[in-house]
Amino acid sequence: MCGRTACSLGADNLRRACAYRDARGRHRQPDWVQPDTYRPSYNKGPQSRGPVLLSRRHLQHDADSSERVLMDMRWGLVPSWFKKDDPSKMPFSTSNCRSDTMLKKSSYKDPLIKGKRCVVLADGFYEWQQQQSGGKQPYFIYFPQSKDAMTELKEGDEEWRGWRLLTMAGIFDCWQPPAGGEILYTYTIITVDASKDVSFIHHRQVRTILDGDEAVSKWLDFAEVPTQEAVKLIQPTENIVFHPVSTFVNSIRNNSPECLTPIKLGAKKEVKVTPSSKVMLGWLKNSQEGSPQKKENDVPKWKSQFIHSPSPKKTSADILQQWLGKEGEPAAKKRKA
């Protein structure tokens, strides 16, 4: 089961990439709640912090429940009823929540029934395939990307042309030390049975992906969409692509674009970096705020990745083939049934 994600966008660009339309049809960007704690990363693991979307009404009781905010939460749910003074003393792992038990275990059932649903944001996530030799081969899994994802940004552009973020269904909770103190917001990611396309990598559970703004809206709007209706969204999806990456990502200490760099399986060396693969890696590097090649203030305001239909399944292979410079063999593959 997945234990790593990547989210390389800086805080301001992340907000722009999450633009949406509220219940009145107004174009909105979610406000950040304490954005100073957020740090982009190519290699996020449990217990680290990561960006999530949630309804504003969780923080402001008179707010429209369709309005969204961004928060940087700790990965690994700590139930509100946990009595120890240190959240790291949790006796079991809560970074992932199986869909078939989420309404049975109190750690997940209690916040879920109370509407504490969130959407976890990432460029994609990593899964490890067990090898016959005994080792494990990591893969990076993400949404199919449109041609705009590799188009150079120009002044005056309104549409978001960056990486389409993966939107994963999550549950969050609020914990406070028994002796009092600052409230800790934590989350878990819901997992489902692997679809046919990725079952050869991990045959059991993978992340629940919410594909498109309608699914995201229904999952977040707890005031309008009851739990019984929302859980129907927890289904496997086939609208994903993937490519193998180096075991460099195995160490949580490694945090650079090399974590995402595609490799050619069976080769002793990694695939040589080509001009087209540099386009992808260059975008990833420049997506972080403070980059000397692109200042955040130079980036225009966007329309959202969410305000469009789900990407066609067969577009990304050709795009990634251009990015990665692999003639005759797409770097991002799907396993044929």
**What secondary structure does DSSP assign to 147-195, as a single string?**
GGGGSPP-TT--B--SPPPEEEEEEEEEE--TT----EEEEEEEEEEPP
Which pLDDT does position 286 carry in this prediction? 57
Between the CA of residue 40 and those of 122, 286, 289, what are the distances in Å?
10, 12, 9
Question: Which distant-in-sequence residues (6+ apart) come within 8 Å of 253 by Cβ?
Answer: none
Phi/psi at 111 (nearest 5 deg)? Answer: -65, -30
Rounded to an integer, the average pLDDT of 27-52 is 94
Is the model's pLDDT at 309 over the cut of 80?
no
For the ranges 90-94, 117-121, 317-321, the lowest mean pLDDT is seen at 317-321
- Assess whether pLDDT exceeds 50 at residue 298: no
Mark out the alpha helices in the chain (DSSP H runs): 11-17, 106-113, 213-220, 227-230, 275-286, 316-324
Whole-number Å distance between alpha carbons of 260 and 124? 9
The answer, yes or no, to whether residue 101 has pLDDT greater than 80, is yes
User: In one letter, which amino acid is 327?
Assistant: E
Summarize pLDDT for 261-285 with one digit per residue, the tens.
999 887 544 444 444 445 455 555 5
Dmax over Cα atoms in the chain, in whole Å? Answer: 62
173 within 8 A of 180, measured Cβ to Cβ: no
Domain boundaries, the chain: 4-260
Residue 145, pLDDT score: 86
Per-residue confidence (pLDDT) for residue 87, from 0 to 100: 86
Label residue 88 by pLDDT band (50, 70, 90).
confident
CATH superfamily, domain 4-260, is SOS response associated peptidase-like (3.90.1680.10)
Residue 321 has pLDDT above 60, yes or no: no
Task: Give residue 200's pLDDT.
Answer: 73
Q: Are 37 and 26 in contact (CB under 8 A)?
A: no
pLDDT of residue 159: 67
Count the residues in the chain: 337
Indicate the pTM of the whole model: 0.81
**Look-up: residue for tokens 């199986």?**
98
The pLDDT of residue 305 is 47
What residues act catalytically?
Answer: 2, 127
